[in-house]
Amino acid sequence: MFSRMVKSLVLLAMVVGTYGVASGQPSAAQAAAVRYANEIAGFITTGDRAEYRKFVEANFSETFLKVPMEAHLNFLSSQHDFSRGMTVEGIQEWRPNEVVALVKNKLTGDWDGLLVRVETEIPYKISGIGLRPAKRPEDATVKKLSEKEAVAEIGNFLKKLAAENLFSGSVLLAKDGIVLYKGAFGSANKDFGVSNKIDTKFNLGSMNKMFTAVAVAQLVEKGKLSYDDPLSKFIPDFPNPDAAKKIQIKHLLTHTSGLGGYFSQRYQNMSRANLRTVDDMMAMVRQDEKDVQFEPGSKWQYSNTGMLVLGSVIEIVSGKSYFDYVRENIYKPAGMINTDCYELDKVNQNLAIGYDKRYTDSGIEWSNNIFAHVMRGGPQGGGYSTVEDLMKFDQALRSGKLISPASFKLIASAKPELNSPEYGYGFSIDAERNVVGHSGGFPGISSNLDMYIGSGWTAVVMSNYSRGSGHVTSKISSLIHAIHN
């Protein structure tokens, strides 16, 4: 304990000298938070749940201890599993009684922000911990790489993660439509020892929202609807008629409609077998549709229900089921032969089972997500695809095969005027990296498509492990940065 205290004091002196604080010197609460950040990083490195428990009991506030002990232990265990330890390199942010420490992942070299919040009174016990996005230090050296070197490094990185059982899935990296790397790792089915392959179909999670957005853009181009059309024009019997007059198509596309989620308690309590069509799904969320949570366009709040409602609009306007429409107008012209919203109680070839880790005192236990997820995906998410099919989707969008270049630019641009500064019409926007795309996450699902608009790169990562794509997506981003450095 004494050595850790000395390290904390040295770290505090270093970060004050390097980063400074608004008042010139850290407060007593901030100094305590820095000390705790260093100690937490040390405990995470051990992977010892007994030590975690002792630390939590001794240092967490009475209020924070009301959170179940298992939740605290699982957070620390998961951080150990995904990092094999971390080191505190500095302080990224200071607030009155909290800090965000800049920590480096020992396994991957990634950077994270470790938030530590303390009480405002002595003895300044911990009242909150968590992870925040990290800002790479400006003085962190970035070695320039050739494309060949970067491709070799991503291959070695994936082998390392797979060996540690942190990644199971497939990855594709391309430049200007030319595939430079693709590989598959891990198991599609642990019960039978079936390995993942390049053409293994992985659950997309929320990535289906991109297909829904492109379908809407196609119908706008055909003059069958407008982004400014009110919802009431298409669904006059919407449960909240006043809201339907205010909610426009663009609000649904940007998650600014005020509608809520999808995975409610009602969903948990009902049979998944009854959710096979968009109408089935709409019937389940009718109550959610009544409860509009804010004035449309005034706030951003992720809404699976909003995207589901768009699926219904697509059916009404096109005269086809959502599933038939996207098959005929998106998958087929793009050449996507392994993509669909499959009914999971039927025979579907080459679908990966999703897996989630559970951390226990006796070690890691695996569970599958068969009974946790939807029976069939839809406009809001839950379909399946492959890395090669998503590459085809990327190229079809860039080439104007699915929608015009002007429409693609429109849907793939942020909409700050709608209080959606990092999300366009069905696409996530990273203005700093000039990247558009979408991710998907759920227990046993972790997928991501990054389209680097300025440089022509395409990165597709699909995993059947919870949070499995995160390290890989981050690594690819840093390698592309190194190529262009």
pLDDT tens digit sequence for 5-58: 334 434 444 444 344 444 457 899 999 999 999 999 988 999 999 999 999 999
Is 197 inside a domain boundary? Answer: no
Query: 324 and 441: one domain?
Result: yes
For residues 45 and 110, give the distance between their C-alpha atoms in angstroms, rounded to a whole number.
15
What residues have CB less than 8 Å from 419, skipping those under 6 apart? 256, 297, 298, 299, 300
Identify the CA nearest to 200 among candidates 369, 465, 389.
Answer: 389
Whether 48 is in a domain gets the answer yes
Residues 385, 336 contacting (CB under 8 angstroms): yes
Tokens representing residue 382 in the block = 């839950």
- 446: how many CB neighbours lie within 10 A of its CB? 28
What pLDDT does residue 8 have? 42
Is residue 149 a part of any domain in this protein?
no
Instruction: Note whether 116 and 209 are same-domain residues.
Output: no
pLDDT at 283: 63
pLDDT of 131: 93
Give the pTM.
Answer: 0.88
Are both 260 and 409 inside the same structural domain?
Answer: yes
Task: Please give the helix or strand (H or E) that residue 90 lies within, else none.
Answer: strand 86-95
- Cα distance between the two ends of the chain: 42
Closest Cα partner for 99 from 88, 83, 110?
88
Residues 120, 255 within the same domain: no
Contact between residue 472 and residue 161 where contact means Cβ atoms under 8 Å apart: yes
CA–CA–CA angle 130, 55, 89 (5° rounding): 50
Same domain, 268 and 355: yes
Structural domains counted in the chain: 2
DSSP string, 208-244: HHHHHHHHHHHHHHTTS--TT-BGGGT-TT-SSHHHH
432 is written with which tokens?
Answer: 């700093």
Q: What is the pLDDT of residue 25?
A: 78
Asked if residue 145 is part of any domain, the answer here is no
Asked whether residue 220 falls in the same domain as residue 97, the answer is no
Q: pLDDT tens across 240-259, in order? A: 888 899 999 999 999 999 98
Write out pLDDT tens, residues 446-461: 999 999 999 999 999 9
Q: What is the CATH number of the domain that holds 6?
A: 3.10.450
Domain limit, last residue, from 132, 151, 184: 132
- Structural domain includes residue 327: yes
Residue 26 within a domain: yes
In a domain, 399, yes or no: yes
Residues 470 and 334 in one domain: yes
- Tens-digit pLDDT profile for the chain (485 aa)? 334 433 443 444 444 434 444 445 789 999 999 999 999 998 899 999 999 999 999 999 999 999 999 999 999 999 999 999 999 999 999 999 999 999 999 999 888 999 999 999 999 999 999 999 887 766 566 688 999 999 999 999 999 999 999 999 999 999 999 999 999 999 999 999 999 999 999 999 999 999 999 999 999 999 999 999 999 999 998 888 888 999 999 999 999 999 876 555 555 555 555 566 666 666 655 555 557 889 999 999 999 999 999 999 999 999 999 999 999 999 999 999 999 999 998 999 999 999 999 999 999 999 999 888 788 999 999 999 999 999 999 999 999 999 999 999 999 999 999 999 999 999 999 999 999 999 999 999 999 999 999 999 999 999 999 999 999 999 999 999 999 87
- What pLDDT is attached to residue 7? 43
| Domain stops at, among 115, 132, 149 | 132
Domain residue limits at 47: 2-132
CATH of the domain at 415: 3.40.710.10
Asked if 212 and 293 sit in the same domain, the reply is yes
Kindly state whether residues 280 and 368 are assigned to the same domain. yes
Report the relative pairing of strands 445-452 and 111-118 from DSSP bridges: unpaired
CA distance 386 to 282: 28
Cis peptide before 123 (omega within 30 of 0): yes
Is-contact 150 479, C-beta < 8 A? yes
Q: How many CB atoms lie within 10 A of CB 422?
A: 12
Same domain, 305 and 421: yes
378-395 per-position pLDDT tens digit: 999 999 999 999 999 999
Q: Where on the phi/psi map is residue 165: left (φ > 0), alpha (ψ -120 to 50), or beta?
A: left
Do residues 128 and 253 both lie within one domain?
Answer: no
Q: Which residues of 10-41 are buried (b: 16+ CB within 10 A; e: fewer)?
A: ebbeebbeeeebeeeebeebbbbbbbbbbbbb
Given the structure tokens 């938070």, which residue do they identify? 33
Q: What is the pLDDT of residue 265?
A: 56
Determine the pLDDT at residue 273: 56
Q: Decide if 156 is inside a domain.
A: no
Write the DSSP symbol of residue 469.
T
Among candidate residues 132, 164, 189, the one where a domain is terminated: 132
pLDDT score at 6? 37
